């Protein structure tokens, strides 16, 4: 029988509810429990798939192809048993969409449809679907207590305690305990008011996780416990650390998992956090460091590339390499040239949509190809690699993707319907431009060519990776591109291009899929481990050349 832990947030947003939830899940998993994790988002969008990365950050894609909140990426990086999917992320929009569809079908038998009980009942049904048969389901409620948007979700989780009994439900509330530098004081009042707001809704938190710059002193811990009716040992200090992967051990040492187990009346073995300790130890004992450039469209909001950044760091953990990630706006390279990339040991071009900065990305690919800098292209990063090769190796002037130029003379990247019926005429491509626009989403099987760099890095020729894109490499140009030196080293079961390489380059790999979504700190990912290894070799070669000079 599944038990539930509900994680809410107060005072301000972006305190780290996702990280807190993921770390608690990691500790409970380390005590032998199976974990499922759900994110409830108050926004009215049905899912984050159409939201701007500048507003929402990364869209994380699950194995089954669901576009979800970035916190699901945290969950999968920390908790092996928490494999997200369609029932792991519910928004206000999706809940209302379901309820309205039921009303239109007559499922409510003519009743007046209301927030209580219809919306709250649908939220509870969604939670039960997402919980599955896990021992514990952790449910994070997005937003901040006091926001009007989150009230139905809070009412629903309040009812869960009544429905299932309080010995199957734990409420964790994350708050901010600010430090006022001018008076050198730690202020507990915001936490007190946040708990007061939560209690007015009918929820008494069992555990408080208090975010602060420094560890919470005993005096403030006692004060918070007294004014919030929470046990003193259940006031957890979540202070700033220099490494996210230290947090499971920090929380375990404060007894967070013991409090949850006590509330749920669970007799559990001791937590084995040796893997997390090994990760922290590896990051404290680097053998060398490399500088990696990330050339993208959304670099002003680093959360737009959070899984990619973490995957690069995971590659560093498994090669004992400090990875310094430098962010460059593709438009900057387009306008100012590639000078800013000089001195980089490896370059990554990630996914993205729209034509902004595309020429800067193409220029970046030419730079890495001509200067033998290790390159990892992901999704759009593979497509611009194909465009660059078409222009500068195969001599196809004006080559482009039809996503950015419908009138290109050489549509080396296009919708499947555009090149499957290709007659070479711009008119026919225009007629087909609105067809075949469905996203290719989720995990799909891929075959790797024997002896390729891709197969060497994976150590096998059959893999499965997650996708999120519409446009594909135009198979009508593959022969000309191969003759010019590009190798198509990975293909799907229906012969779509999945990976490309440059034959005479020391390490040039690009994938149509998103390998960052399956990387985690304990296991890493073969592409990122291989890329960082190549960046190390490039760095060591550069150091040697400088020394010889």
The catalytic site residues sit at 379, 514, 516
User: Nearest-CA neighbor of 264 among 2, 27, 527, 539?
Assistant: 2
If DSSP codes are grouped into helix, strand and coil, which group holds residue 162? Answer: helix
104 Rama class: left (phi>0) / alpha (psi -120 to 50) / beta: alpha
Question: 274: how many CB neighbours lie within 10 A of its CB?
Answer: 9
Alpha-carbon 448 to chain mean position: 25
E strands along 109-190, which residues? Answer: 136-141, 169-176, 179-180, 185-186
Residue 5 pairs with which residues in a beta bridge?
Answer: 138, 170
SS3 track for 474-505:
CHHHHHHHHHCCEEEEEEECCCCEEEEEECCC
Written as six digits, the tokens of 55 are 């507003």
Judge contact between 297 and 356, C-beta under 8 A: yes
User: Nearest-CA neighbor of 131 among 311, 292, 6, 314?
Assistant: 6
CA gap 178, 232 in Å, rounded? 19
User: Nearest-CA neighbor of 477 among 391, 544, 540?
Assistant: 391
DSSP calls for 507-547: SEEEESS-GGGG--TTT--HHHHHHHHHHHHHHHHHHHHHH
CA gap 401, 474 in Å, rounded? 9
Query: 128 to each of 21, 43, 123, 164, how far by Cα in Å?
Result: 18, 21, 9, 11
Cross-sheet strand order for the sheet of 497-502: 321-329, 288-296, 346-349, 375-378, 508-511, 497-502, 486-492, 440-448, 462-469
Long-range contacts, stretch 437-440, CB < 8 angstroms, 24+ apart: 437/470, 438/470, 439/49, 439/468, 439/469, 439/470, 440/467, 440/468, 440/469, 440/470
Query: Within 13 A of 449's CA, how many CA atoms are on the CB side?
Result: 15
If DSSP codes are grouped into helix, strand and coil, which group holds residue 383? Answer: helix
User: Nearest-CA neighbor of 318 among 35, 519, 107, 36?
Assistant: 519
- Residue 102 — φ and ψ, nearest 5°? -65, -40
Residue 349 pairs with which residues in a beta bridge?
Answer: 377
Written as six digits, the tokens of 547 are 């020394």
- Could you tell me the end-to-end alpha-carbon distance of the chain, in angstroms, rounded to an integer? 69
């Amino acid at each position: 029988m599944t038990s539930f832990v509900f994680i809410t947030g107060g005072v301000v947003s972006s305190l780290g509810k996702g990280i807190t939830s993921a770390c608690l899940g990691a500790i409970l998993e380390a005590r032998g429990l199976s974990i499922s994790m759900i994110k409830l988002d108050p926004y009215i969008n049905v899912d984050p798939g159409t939201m701007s990365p500048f507003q929402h950050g990364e869209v994380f894609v699950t194995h089954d192809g669901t576009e979800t909140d970035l916190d699901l990426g945290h969950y999968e990086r920390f908790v092996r048993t928490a494999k997200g999917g369609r029932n792991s992320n519910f928004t206000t929009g999706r809940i209302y969409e379901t309820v309205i569809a039921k009303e239109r079908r007559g499922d409510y038998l003519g009743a007046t449809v209301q927030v209580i009980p219809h919306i709250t009942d649908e939220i509870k049904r969604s939670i039960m679907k997402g919980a599955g048969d896990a021992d514990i389901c952790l449910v994070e409620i997005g937003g901040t207590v006091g926001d009007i948007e989150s009230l139905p979700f809070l009412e629903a989780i309040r009812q869960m305690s009544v429905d299932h009994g309080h010995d199957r439900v734990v409420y964790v509330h994350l708050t901010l305990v600010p430090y006022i530098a001018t008076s050198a004081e730690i202020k507990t009042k915001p936490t007190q008011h946040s708990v007061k707001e939560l209690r007015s809704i009918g929820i008494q938190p069992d555990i408080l996780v208090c975010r602060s710059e420094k560890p919470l002193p005993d005096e403030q811990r006692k004060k918070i416990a007294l004014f919030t009716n929470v046990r003193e040992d259940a006031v957890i200090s979540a202070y700033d650390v220099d490494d996210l992967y230290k947090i499971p051990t920090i929380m375990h040492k404060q007894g967070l998992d013991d409090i949850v187990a006590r509330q749920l009346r669970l007799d559990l073995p001791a937590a084995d956090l040796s893997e997390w300790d090994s990760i922290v130890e590896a990051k404290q004992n680097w053998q060398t460091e490399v500088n990696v450039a990330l050339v993208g469209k959304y670099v002003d909001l680093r959360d737009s590339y959070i899984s990619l950044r973490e995957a690069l760091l995971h590659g560093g953990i498994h090669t004992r390499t400090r990875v310094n990630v430098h962010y460059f706006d593709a438009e900057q390279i387009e306008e100012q040239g590639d000078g800013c990339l000089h001195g980089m040991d490896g370059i990554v071009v990630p996914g993205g949509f729209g034509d902004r900065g595309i020429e800067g990305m193409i220029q970046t690919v030419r730079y890495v190809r001509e200067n033998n800098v290790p390159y990892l292209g992901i999704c759009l990063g593979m497509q611009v690699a194909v465009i660059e090769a078409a222009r500068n190796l195969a001599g196809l002037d004006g080559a482009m993707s039809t996503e950015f130029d419908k009138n290109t003379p050489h549509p080396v990247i296009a919708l499947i319907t555009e090149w499957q019926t290709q007659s070479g005429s711009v008119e026919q491509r225009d007629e087909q431009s609105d067809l075949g626009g469905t996203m290719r989403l989720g995990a799909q099987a891929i075959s790797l060519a024997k002896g390729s760099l891709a197969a060497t890095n994976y150590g096998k020729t059959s893999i499965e990776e997650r996708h999120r894109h519409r446009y594909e490499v135009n198979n009508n140009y593959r022969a000309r591109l191969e003759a010019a030196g590009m190798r198509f080293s990975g293909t799907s079961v229906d012969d779509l291009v999945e990976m490309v390489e440059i034959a005479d380059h020391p390490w040039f790999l690009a994938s149509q899929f998103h390998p960052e979504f399956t990387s985690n700190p304990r296991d890493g990912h073969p592409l990122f481990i291989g890329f960082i290894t190549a960046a190390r070799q490039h760095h060591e070669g550069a150091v040697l050349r400088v020394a010889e000079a």
